[in-house]
Structure 1
Amino acid sequence: MYEPIRRKSVHTMAGPATSDFPHRSREEELDIQLAGHLAALLATTDELRALTPSGELDTAAERLVQQVTRLRGGHRPVRTPGAPASETTAAPLHRRAHALAGRALVVAASRADTAAAILAAERMDAHDAALAAATTSTSTSTSTDQRELATH
């Protein structure tokens, strides 16, 4: 009564042997995402280092390089030595770095990468502390300026 189906349904999944494009596992996709977030954090760290050099930022940059290299299977990230800061003050860079570290932390936690998660959390704390210090120094200088204006 009905004619039998002679070809495969468009809804069936093609097997790996018949696939026209490579498939990546969830872990590989998370590795790529995490490496991307850490590489962006490294670029921002390099901008901060160019704006306000410090040993702590140098150490953080080296640790980021190690993690990105590990996640990329031994390929080191491309870096621009002495990258010029796109911002004139460090606060916007610290905010960007804090956000990037937060994204890296979420991905590292979802792939259960303890080393990357610890590094991302430490970087979040460091950038949060730098922002708090910048806010405190800004409010102190503003108060001083206001007092000077009041005395004149």
Structure 2
Amino acid sequence: MYEPIRTKSVHSTMAGAPSDFPHRSREEELDIQLAGHLAALLAVTDELRATAPSADLDTAAERLAVQVARLRGGRKPARSTSPDRTPDRTPDRTLDRTSGPAALHGRAHALAGRALVVAASRADTAAAILAAERMDAHAAAQAEAQELTGVG
């Protein structure tokens, strides 16, 4: 009824057979994923620092950079080169709700949530605590922005 397979499988199923490509363990994959989420959160944090500087964001950025470097074997993450720049004040930018501080806090909250899930899966307490703290901070900032604008 079925035609037999005539070619050798490209997937090695034999135990102990050498492979032509490197394999990573689950822990290594989780490290890579967690570092990626934290690096993305760091990028959004740097963007927030550029629009609304604060000591809390500065501290958070430094802590995120330390965690990303730890997960990447000591390699420092790429950072924004100008955290001290003033925000754009063009009319289009102020009316655009997808790029304002509230939207950035929303993105940061989502990224911190993803990092928290991976950190919990990996059993990385330090990263999980940092991600949870950032989620709380960004949720509070979103709530404050909604109170100020009356939207919600």
User: Which of the five TM-score ranges fits, normalised by the shorter chain?
Assistant: 0.7 to 0.9
Conserved? CA contact 2:12–2:19, under 8 Å: no
How far apart are residue 89 of structure 1 and its match? 2.2
More helix by share: 1
Secondary structure of 2:74 counterpart: coil
Instruction: Compare CA radii of gyration and give the structure with the larger one.
Output: 1
Conserved? CA contact 1:47–1:82, under 8 Å: no
| Residue 58 of structure 2 is aligned to residue 47 of structure 1 | no
The corresponding residue for 2:145 is: 134
Q: CA RMSD in A?
A: 2.3
* TM-score for both structures, normalised by structure 2: 0.80
Aligned in 2, Cα 1:15/1:73: closer, same or farther, shift over 3 Å? farther
* TM-score for both structures, normalised by structure 1: 0.80
The corresponding residue for 1:117 is: 128
Identity score, percent: 70
The corresponding residue for 1:78 is: 78
Secondary structure of 2:142 counterpart: helix
Deviation string 1:77-112 (CA, Å, 9 cap, x unpaired) is 011222677865200000000000000000000000
The CA distance in 2 between the partners of 1:115 and 1:88, in whole Å, is 30
Conserved? CA contact 2:39–2:64, under 8 Å: yes
Aligned in 2, Cα 1:107/1:88: closer, same or farther, shift over 3 Å? closer
The corresponding residue for 2:115 is: 104
Unaligned runs of 5+ in 2: 1-7, 88-92
Number of residue equivalences: 133
How far apart are residue 21 of structure 1 and its match? 0.4
Unaligned runs of 5+ in 1: 1-8, 143-152
Aligned in 2, Cα 1:95/1:14: closer, same or farther, shift over 3 Å? same
